[in-house]
Structure formats: C-alpha cells, structure tokens
Amino acid sequence: MEKPRYVRFWSRRSIVSLIGIDYPILEQSELDNLPKFYLAGFLVLCILWISFLSVFYAFDLMFDMWHAELLLSSFFSLMFFTIYIFLIQTFSKEVFPTTSKVKFFNLSNLSRVGFVLMIGFLIAQPVKIFLLKTQLDADIETYKTQLYQDFCKVNQQLYFNDINKLLSDKNRYQAMPYSQTLVAEIAKIDTALYLIDQRIAMANLKAKNNISGSNFFIKRIAFAGKYFTAKIVVFLIVVLFFAPIVLIYSISGTSRYYSLKKKNDKNLVLKEYALFKARYSLLFERKYQLQNMVFYEPFLDPPFNTVRKPQPNYLSQADFFNNLVEQ
C-alpha cells in the first residue's frame, strides 16, 4: 500500500506555489527555471514577514493593547500579502499583436506594478521609522516642547481680552475712593482672574499630558524624510517587493514550463468548451427534439475568438442575372 504524502509548508512545492507556479507542471518540465522560482518564493516569504513586523510596529505606536495590535497587524499584513500575491500571479506573459516589441509595458502590467510599488512604499514607512528610532525620538521631543509652548501661547491669547478688561476694571475701582461696594467688586474681579488662571493651567496641563502621551506616528514619518538612511530603506523595500516580479517575468514565455502550462490550460479550455457544446445540444434535443445541432461560430479558433472567419464575397446584381441566365 502506497504511503500517504503530506505537503510540508517548508518545501519546494509550497514555496513555489506562493507565486502561482503549478508544481506538477514544473515537474513535467524537469524543474525548468527552478532556482528563479524558488528564489522568488523565498522573497515572497520575506515580504510576508516584513509586512507583519512593519504593520505590527505601526499599530504599536498607535495603540497600547497588544492583543488588538496582534489581531490588526495579522489582518492587514495578510490582506496586503494576499493582494500582492494576486498581483504577481496575474502579470501577463502573453504576446499580443503590436507594432512595438516591448511586451511588458502595457496598461495591465503597469497598473499592477504601480499597485505593488504603492504597497511596498506603505510597508516601508514603519520600517524606516523603526530603524531611525533614536534620531526620531530626539526630533519628537523637540517637536513636543515646541508644540506645548505654542499651545500655551494660543491658550493665553484666548483669554487676553477678558484678562485685560478685568485688570482695567480693577485699576479703575482701586483709583476710586474707598467703599465696601468697591471692595466687593474688586474681590469678584480677583476671583474671576483666579478662575481664568486655573482654566488656563488646567488646559495647559491637559495638553501637556496629551502631547507627552502621543507617539506622533505620522510626524515620525515626516521627520524621517530628512534622513538619507530613510530613503535608502524605502528604496530597498520597494526593490524587494519588485524583485519577485522581475524574476518571474525574466523567464521567457516560451520556456518549457510556460509552454507546458499554456498547452495544459488550452487543453482544459477546449475540453470544457466541448462539454458545454455537448450539453447545450442535449438541451435542444430534449426540449425541442432537434438532433445533431450545429452552432454557427464567427471565429476560427473558438472559444478563444482571436481570429474571425473571413467575410463572404458578395456578388453584384449583374452576376446574379448572369447566373440566372446560365441556369
């Protein structure tokens, strides 16, 4: 009895399957271009790991709940990874009729490249601020101090007119002759000034706590832009995201693997199309008692429909009458 085979995650079949390679066909092609496929699959695994760590660090800066960070980072990293896998698996290697010999730069492929580069750019942002954490911590502390000082000035300015009016009234009352009524009014003014000072102090304290407790994730990304190292990190990660596409597309569409794959795909389509026509004919036979139905197809290569049948030659009226006379 044949021993059952189990697919291991860390195997050639599993790794090349990540990039959409049909391993049985690859075996039929005698493992054609296996090093490139294997390297592309390994790079895709690296992309998954970097994406998870990047998203996790981003959420770690925004939240303070490890279980929420783990859940959200798993979801978003897998979402980015799934989109990425879908994009690299749908890059077209077909040769379409064109006056230009450049086959890669078509609208379909360029839109996919743009989306891949965008994903790589987004994943690179948390990575660069993590690698520049020491420098950015110093920049953020300076920014926090300046932000707090600016808030204090604005907060003080909000009550500037009220304070000046109260002080003006107090000075005017103090210049008047002494009386119990004036003393009571001055006491009210002092109380109002005290309450305003307390309000200003409370607002400043609240702002200080909020500023001190914030990690300023977006501001860190903005500050990181001034460092050359950050540009290098972004460039390397974008290159990493683009590398599997280059590896896969560098393999010729006429290689043994892709030739076999196209042949198998074509045979599968033709087989399913033949079954469809048989079932369609059977439907007419059962419902309308029409046997041996022949369906007109305007193309020479159904169901791919790339070569249209030539148009019939239409005869002139004179030819019509000549045919009648000959008959």
Q: Stretch 314-324: mean pLDDT, rounded?
A: 72
258/51 Cα distance (integer angstroms): 30
Question: What is the model's pLDDT at position 2?
Answer: 43
Question: What is the model's pLDDT at position 99?
Answer: 43
Question: What is the model's pLDDT at position 98?
Answer: 44
Q: Stretch 267-281: mean pLDDT, rounded?
A: 88
Say if residues 54 and 81 touch (Cβ distance below 8 Å): no
| pLDDT at position 12 over 50 | yes
Say if residues 47 and 243 touch (Cβ distance below 8 Å): no
Tell me the β-bridge partners of 143.
Answer: none
Instruction: Tell the burial category of 209 from Cβ atoms under 10 Å away from its Cβ (0-12, 13-18, 19+).
Output: exposed
324/300 Cα distance (integer angstroms): 33
18/13 Cα distance (integer angstroms): 9
93/167 Cα distance (integer angstroms): 80
Question: Nearest 5°: phi and psi at 132?
Answer: -105, 30
Ramachandran assignment for 63, one of left (phi > 0), alpha (psi -120 to 50 degrees), beta (any other): beta
pLDDT tens, 64-77?
777 778 888 888 88
pLDDT tens, 51-68?
999 989 988 888 777 777
| pLDDT at position 227 over 80 | yes
Helix axes 217-224, 107-131, angle to 10 degrees: 100
Residue 22's CB is within 10 A of a number of other CB atoms, namely 16
Question: What is the model's pLDDT at position 92?
Answer: 56
249/243 Cα distance (integer angstroms): 10
At 1 the three-state DSSP class reads: coil
Question: What is the model's pLDDT at position 97?
Answer: 43
Q: Does residue 301 or residue 145 have the better pLDDT?
A: 145
76/72 Cα distance (integer angstroms): 6
Q: Does residue 78 or residue 175 have the better pLDDT?
A: 78
Both tokens of 202, joined, read 């409370």
Say if residues 251 and 33 touch (Cβ distance below 8 Å): yes
Q: Stretch 235-242: mean pLDDT, rounded?
A: 93
96/104 Cα distance (integer angstroms): 11
The residue among 244, 258, 252 whose CA lies nearest residue 28 is 258
pLDDT tens, 138-173?
999 999 999 999 999 998 898 888 888 888 888 887
Mean pLDDT for all residues in the chain: 83
The residue among 280, 237, 231, 265 whose CA lies nearest residue 84 is 237
Q: Does residue 53 or residue 34 have the better pLDDT?
A: 53
Say if residues 80 and 119 touch (Cβ distance below 8 Å): yes
Given the structure tokens 């909020």, which residue do they identify? 210
23/233 Cα distance (integer angstroms): 34
Both tokens of 294, joined, read 């022949």
Q: Tell if the pTM clears 0.85, that is, is over it.
A: no
Say if residues 233 and 131 touch (Cβ distance below 8 Å): yes
- Please, which pLDDT band fits residue 231 given cuts at 50, 70 and 90? very high
Both tokens of 253, joined, read 């569409």
Say if residues 194 and 115 touch (Cβ distance below 8 Å): no
Residue 101's CB is within 10 A of a number of other CB atoms, namely 6
Q: Stretch 115-121: mean pLDDT, rounded?
A: 89
Both tokens of 75, joined, read 């979801």
| pLDDT at position 264 over 70 | yes
- Please, which pLDDT band fits residue 214 given cuts at 50, 70 and 90? confident
